[in-house]
Amino acid sequence: MSRRLAAALSAPFFGVSALLVAASPAQPGTPADKPRVLSSWTQPSASSYAIWAAARGNQSQWSAYGFDWSTDYCSTSPDNPFGFPFEISCARHDFGYRNYKGEDTFRTDKPRLDSALYEDLKRVCERYSRAQKASCRALAWTYYQAVKKLG
């Protein structure tokens, strides 16, 4: 085959190859529904918290998604201030922060993630009696204000 003919035949192939490479996802094999799943796990609702908690308990099932499950819980704030168990709510908040930073949509999603933390913390407070509930809710508000401003 002549060089001209070979070059002419290979040009369309290389052009298509370049388009396929350019259109490939950054992480090969990552399921296309990752943004939808991530969003469903980071909403302020109790049902969103429940499905995230179930997934967290079975992380290996979600390994293809490449989620970052790491956490430092409530960072430099107490995880269980005055005995109120905020630790898992903070873990979900970390999950949202770490994964949306990885998706480069953090700034857009941060207000919802902070709101979800606040709703999760208030749900923790619901299990307490009147006086304890008021103290717990005040702490929840303080944690929310801190992540809203500093997170």
Catalytic hit among 93, 95, 118, 143: 93
Give alpha helix (H) positions in 24-129.
34-40, 46-56, 87-102, 106-125
At a CB cut-off of 8 Å and minimum separation 6, what does 109 contact? 42, 96, 100
The token pair at 50 is 């429940």
Would residue 93 show up in a list of annotated catalytic residues for this protein?
yes
Which amino acid makes up residue 69?
Answer: W
The residues carrying an active-site annotation are: 93
